[in-house]
Amino acid sequence: MSTGIKDLFADEVVTHALVRDVALPRGAGTLALITLDNGFDHTKPSTFGPNGLAELDAALDAVAARDDIAAVGVTGKPFVFAVGADLKGVPLIGGRADALAIGRLGHDVFRRLGELRVPSFAYYNGAAMGGGVEIGLHCTYRTISTGVPAFALPETFLGLVPGWGGTYLLPRLIGAERALELIVHNPLAQNRMLKGPRVHELGIADAIFEPADFLEESLDWTARVLTGETAVRRPETDTGKAWDDAVAAARWTVDARLHGAAPSYVRALDLVAAAKDRTRDEGFAAEDEALADLIMGDELRAGLYAFELTQKRAKRPAGAPDKALARPVTKVGVVGAGLMASQLALLFARRLEVPVVLTDLDQDRLDKGVGHAHAEVEALLGKGRVTADKAARLKSLITGSLTKDAFADADFVIEAVFEEMAVKQKVFAEVEEHVSAECVLATNTSSLSVTEMAAGLRHPERVVGFHFFNPVAVLPLLEVVRGERTGDAALATAFATGKALRKSCVLVRDAPGFVVNRVLLRLLAEIVQAVDEGTPIETAERAAAPLGLPMPPFVLMGLVGPAIALHVNETLHAAFPGRFPVSAGLAAMVAAGKPGVYLPDFTLDPEVVEIFSGGTAPSTEEQVLERALAALADEIRVMLDEGVVAAPQDIDLCMILGAGWPFHLGGVTPYLDRTGVAEKVTGKRFLDPGVASVPA
């Protein structure tokens, strides 16, 4: 290990490898148990930096020199096994030689667990990610706790590959198809995590035990394996056509989703594809080379920036008032009983565990809304997500009323009615007649003015924007909008409630479209305008492919609904007519009742093609993308100048969590900086060169 690498990680919190002897039951002998522990509580997971790896290496030196032990075990501190490499020093690495050394160091230390003269056992007692998963793969056997909440190989999500043995050892242990669930498919699904039972089901762990006595049961199982009482049988891995088919299928998914925009996924697939024919040394060497290339690339820096936003800034919202000002919420009211309202009711009931009452003027609609929420509870029960007792309690918490006097003792009322100012103003005026002066009134509007909505109320200081994203239960972003007269107490209550709902809150100034809709609509407006001008729909659709967005623009329009897209477009046009032209083609689509540009079989609707015909100035894919990115840079600069959010990082956070802006791009502002668009359009970068850890 070079001194330079150690210097880069000078502030590393060292994960110690603590060794103690354990007398195994059943006369199986002595086990040297290595516990990975960084000395903090479970909120500070153990990681592997150069110094931590050196500690583990020294511990393995000690146990390898002994001839009085029957086995070696590795476990973690309470609630955490280990969560992988310490990446703090990565942005400072200046040469490929040091990057290559980082990969080799992990391999050199971890592989020793598979090369001891005695068997090695990994006891996954808690969260395990990245290198934390891989250290266990080097062991001879593995057990896992049913209580493990998060088990993953998130490297491709961040711009790396599982490069300390993951792409070689895992597919050879459980087969390529199952291994690619962790290496490719889960990272593509917004870094989905596995729980303990699934890890056992996949065959990664040989045995599974309950958390209360996990280590004791694991040690007893170890003794039985050592004495021959228990035989560990693993199915033979198919290294033939099934392996190739799994890689090909994953490659097709990656190409369709990312269009080559994220090199880490391609490198990981190449490594898995070749692993079936390589020796272990060859596989590890190939991982080293891939890590070195990716560590020196833009994608990792971008991924680390995005990760930092979602893990740190999202937990400490910029500009949020003192949380001590927040009022308790013991009952929630929801105005409306449509699909959005029923989703909100279920979310509040599940997370806050307080009574939630929906209101509507029509009994059938009310019954349908409450019934939908109850049906969702039943679905959760069927999936084993809640117990029968919890399901019964949740359903009892969600009720309906035809009159708003049911809100008399509510502390928080949110409206989810038609997106029209007059309707929302009328609703709030009616609600105010029944609630206490301290009750917070929240609007789920996606683009209308919170200030105007509150203007006619006796207590406008209680009104706050509370903009969720669909599907409510899945997308983590919550735009908390402060109107001109919104008070600190209402705002603090909104932030506290959002946190209790397990949402990432971002403070947004009351401005048309807020953040996500304004940015997305500016992008979409440019693309639709290109079609209005004569660009074929399929050409404009493909133009955004290099960004690797979750779905193409016109597919997104179909999901949102052309009528809603037009409504938000018109709202933004009214505020900013020069930057948000109303598309004649989109207006004609809505007038014709078209649900989108595609038919159910995803071929273009010829009638929509006809609606958009007539333009005489078509653009190429490259031209459409260029104008779309220029529009994004222009709009974001205007938003920052207006103070819509506190900093560019908040726009990036909103786009990542609310619009699925790809992690591998790091955020929209560093992407525009890195590609030079920001300076070309606005005359300056959005971020200082060091802030995003993304090179210019």
pLDDT of residue 692: 47
- Do 398 and 346 form a contact (C-beta atoms < 8 A)? yes
The amino acid at 27: G
Q: For residue 170, is it within any domain? A: yes
Q: Does residue 85 share a domain with residue 104? A: yes
The amino acid at 252: W
Q: For residue 473, is it within any domain? A: yes
Does residue 250 come out as left (phi exceeding 0), alpha (psi in the -120 to 50 range) or beta?
Answer: alpha
Q: Does residue 474 share a domain with residue 490? A: yes
Q: Does residue 283 share a domain with residue 329? A: no
pLDDT of residue 95: 84
Largest CA distance in the chain: 86
Q: For residue 262, is it within any domain? A: yes
Contacts of 7 (CB under 8 A, 6+ apart): none
Q: Does residue 82 share a domain with residue 222? A: yes
Domain at 535, CATH number: 1.10.1040.50
Q: For residue 504, is it within any domain? A: yes
Q: Does residue 122 share a domain with residue 74? A: yes
Residues comprising the chain, all counted: 696
Q: Does residue 362 share a domain with residue 217? A: no
Could you give the CA distance from residue 101 to residue 304 in angstroms, rounded to a whole number? 20
Contacts of 353 (CB under 8 A, 6+ apart): 393, 397
Q: For residue 484, is it within any domain? A: yes
Contacts of 193 (CB under 8 A, 6+ apart): 129, 149, 150, 151, 152, 186
Q: How many domains does the chain have?
A: 3
Q: What is the mean pLDDT of each run of 10 residues along the chain (696 residues)?
A: 50 82 96 94 86 94 96 96 83 82 93 97 97 97 97 94 97 97 93 96 98 97 97 92 96 87 92 96 97 88 87 91 96 95 96 97 94 95 92 96 96 95 96 96 94 96 95 92 97 97 96 94 93 95 84 87 88 91 93 93 93 92 96 97 96 93 88 94 87 41
Beta strand 463-467 with 477-482 is: antiparallel
Q: Does residue 130 share a domain with residue 233? A: yes
Handedness of CA 430, 435, 438, 439 (dihedral sign): negative
Backbone phi and psi for residue 396, each to the nearest 5 degrees, phi listed first? -70, -25
Q: Alpha carbon 301 to chain centroid distance?
A: 17
Q: For residue 102, is it within any domain? A: yes
Give the domain-ending residue among 296, 311, 345. Answer: 296
Q: For residue 305, is it within any domain? A: no
Could you give the CA distance from residue 335 to residue 425 in angstroms, rounded to a whole number? 12
Q: Does residue 493 share a domain with residue 538? A: no
Domain at 417, CATH number: 3.40.50.720
Number of H helices, E strands in the chain: 30, 17
Q: Does residue 20 share a domain with residue 154? A: yes
Domain at 28, CATH number: 3.90.226.10
Q: Does residue 394 share a domain with residue 338? A: yes
pLDDT of residue 5: 53
- Do 421 and 342 form a contact (C-beta atoms < 8 A)? no
Q: Does residue 544 share a domain with residue 442? A: no
pLDDT of residue 307: 86
Q: Does residue 461 share a domain with residue 395? A: yes
- Do 337 and 373 form a contact (C-beta atoms < 8 A)? no
Give the domain-ending residue among 278, 296, 314. Answer: 296
Give the domain-ending residue among 597, 618, 643. Answer: 643
Task: Tell which residue, 214, 215, 98, 79, has the closest CA to residue 150.
Answer: 79
Domain that holds residue 637: 516-643
Q: For residue 385, is it within any domain? A: yes
